[in-house]
Amino acid sequence: MAVEDGRIVWTGTDPDTYDTTPDEEVDLAGRLVTPAFVDSHVHVVETGDQLLGLDLVGVTSREAVLDKVAAYASGLGPDGFVLGQGWDETLWSDPAVPTAAEIDRAAGGRKAYLKRIDGHSAVISGTLLAEVPGIAGLPGWSADGLLALEALRALLPALETLVPADHAERRARAGLAAMAALGIGAFHDNSGPTIGPESDLIAVQTEAAAAGMHGTYYWGAHLGFDDLKRLDDISGLAGDLTADGSLGSRSAALTSDYADLAGHRGHAYLDPEQMAEHIIGCTRRGVQAGFHCIGDQAIDNIARAFRLAARALGPEVLRAARHRLEHCELPSPTAIEIFADLGVIASMQPMFDGLWGGSDRMYAARLGERWQEMNPFRTLLDAGVRIAFGSDSPVTPLDPWAAVHAAVHHHTPDQGITPEEAFAAHTAGGWYAAGIDDAGTLAVGQRATYAVWDRTAFPDLTSPDVADVTTPCLQTVVDGRTVFEKEGVR
């Protein structure tokens, strides 16, 4: 493979057919070269928070959460802020979450904010709760410190004042470095007013440009057309523009009751008419529209919105826009048909099924037998829906080979896809979802964005019994520029 000015200019098996003397020649000694991965849904600053802050992923009890809070807080000054994320009560024998009073004691009176693994609920200290007047009584509020829905959103402005001035930059650098070291050369950052401040987005853009990583940026603001004038390099008002919440927090909007909470069907933030107005406005402005959606009621609402938009603009106009959905976990057959017809892309996360699929895990607890309808990769592909894969980090780990393996070995066997299809969804599919057609394969004219791997450590993706499919990345190159190289390899 020959690269010039960041583009692939030749590939072949006989170097003598390349008639130009290269400035530099690298013998990879039998190592494997592939297109670099694209993470089509990631939160870069929040990923850095997990890497550099209080990581609660895998903690096995409420008591263990409080112990980790106490240990972390002991290293802070009296005015320090405890920011943690990743707890999952479905892993605990007693699912009761810590209360505000318990967190106050563990944190030594410091303000503390502990996000659930899905990011759609959090437990906070009483000292932090007192900082947000008027939060009591909002949907999702609890006097015990467990917040979701509008109450959680109302808290976000207070958090911005508690972190250091360079917080976002340091977190962004850590998140970007972690991706590059895993063979991820491009990413779609899903920012928005319900995720974090505009300064977080700007920090990611600045640090990605300095690191040489390729970023695609989404700002999840409903009808945020004025934001497009103010913010630079925004591909769409999409990403985590929430049509509903999550299953873990029981806020995903369903057409039937939660199996473990009779009479409850989650929460829909937007109705079809509101979403249709957004889709039409984005299409006319030449940017992508998109929504976070998990439950079938939310996804049906979106399907109706796209039908309304198609009546206003015409199906061909919508297809050309490559609008997208994030997660799209429980789509109905009718919704799938509409998305296929209108060219709507499904940006999905295979590790959701990898972590929560199966008859004895969270999906089954929340949905009963309906868990088998979740994340229907095979059905979507067969219907003609384009798929892009990502991690939603820090919700699931940055580990693209594990995601490929999980997509192949779906907990619902007839929804598994081939290794080739899964790899394509995590590479070329991500570029397509960003509206970019000259990347994602190693072919002449394509961007020279690739990764080099140790072939001797390469996993058997066809085997469901591989305990660890993480493969050492030796080098990651983006547009011909090396953004990661393992020490001592070259």
What pLDDT digit, counting tens, does each position of 188-239 carry? 999 999 999 999 999 999 999 999 999 999 999 999 999 999 999 999 999 9
Say if residue 184's pLDDT is above 90.
Answer: yes
| CATH 3.20.20.140 residue spans of the chain | 167-433
How many angstroms separate the Cα of 191 from the Cα of each of 159, 199, 221, 462, 489? 16, 10, 9, 35, 35
Looking at the predicted structure, is the pLDDT value of residue 94 above 90? yes
Element (H, E) at 216: strand 214-219
Question: In 393-421, which positions are buried (b, 16+ CB within 10 angstroms) versus exposed (e)?
Answer: bbbbbbbbbbbbbbbbbbbbeebbbeeeb
261 pLDDT band, cuts 50/70/90, is very high
Q: Say if residues 448 and 439 touch (Cβ distance below 8 Å).
A: no
Q: Is residue 465 very low, low, confident or very high in pLDDT (cuts 50, 70, 90)?
A: confident
Residue 470 has a pLDDT of 75
Q: Does residue 469 surpass a pLDDT of 90?
A: no
Quick one: pLDDT band at residue 15, thresholds 50, 70, 90? confident
- With cut-offs at 50, 70 and 90, classify the pLDDT of residue 451: very high
Secondary structure (3-state) at 230: helix
Categorize the per-residue pLDDT at 131 as very low, low, confident or very high, splitting at 50, 70 and 90.
confident
- pLDDT the model gives residue 459: 75
How far apart (Å, rounded) are the C-alpha atoms in residues 285 and 118? 32
Q: What is the mean pLDDT of residues 323-345?
A: 98
Identify the band that residue 487 occupies on the pLDDT scale cut at 50, 70 and 90.
confident
pLDDT band at 259 (very low <50, low <70, confident <90, very high): very high
Check residue 47 and give its pLDDT.
97
Mean pLDDT, rounded, for 303-318: 98
Q: What pLDDT sits at residue 71?
A: 97
- As a whole-number percent, the residues of the chain with pLDDT over 90 amount to 89
* Mean pLDDT confidence for 330-351: 98
**Mean pLDDT score across all residues of the chain:** 95
- Provide the total of helices (H) and of strands (E) in the chain, helices listed first: 18, 19
- pLDDT score, position 462: 87
pLDDT-derived band at 61, boundaries 50, 70, 90 = very high
Q: Please tell me the distance from the alpha carbon of residue 42 to that of residue 46, in angstroms, as a whole number.
A: 9
347, amino acid identity:
S
Burial of 345 (0-12, 13-18, 19+ CB in 10 A): buried
pLDDT at 458: 76
Q: Would you state the structure tokens that stand for residue 400, as one six-digit string?
A: 């693209």
Q: In what order do the strands lie in the sheet with 121-124?
A: 54-55, 82-87, 112-116, 121-124, 146-148
Query: Residue 379 pLDDT > 90, yes or no?
Result: yes
Taking the C-alpha atoms of residue 45 and residue 167, their distance in angstroms, rounded to an integer, is 9
427-452 mean pLDDT: 98
pLDDT at 85: 94
What CATH code would you report for 167-433? 3.20.20.140
- What is the C-alpha to C-alpha distance for residues 316 and 325, in angstroms, rounded to an integer? 18
pLDDT score at 246: 96
- What local confidence, expressed as pLDDT, does residue 19 receive? 86
CA–CA distance, 90 with 86 (Å, rounded to integer)? 12
Torsion, Cα 412 415 416 418, to 10 degrees, reads 170
For domain 49-160, say whether CATH 3.10.310.70 is its number: yes
134-149: per-residue pLDDT in tens?
A: 898 899 999 999 999 9
Task: State residue 437's pLDDT score.
Answer: 97
Query: Which residue, 76, 220, 185, 160, is CA-closest to 430?
Result: 185
pLDDT over threshold 80, residue 457: no
**Cα angle value 237/240/244 (rounded, 5°):** 120
pLDDT at residue 391, rounded to an integer: 98
Q: Which residues in the chain are classed under CATH 3.10.310.70?
A: 49-160
> Pick the residue with more confidence: 456 or 391?
391
Q: What is the pLDDT of residues 393-428, one digit of tens each?
A: 999 999 999 999 999 999 999 999 999 999 999 999
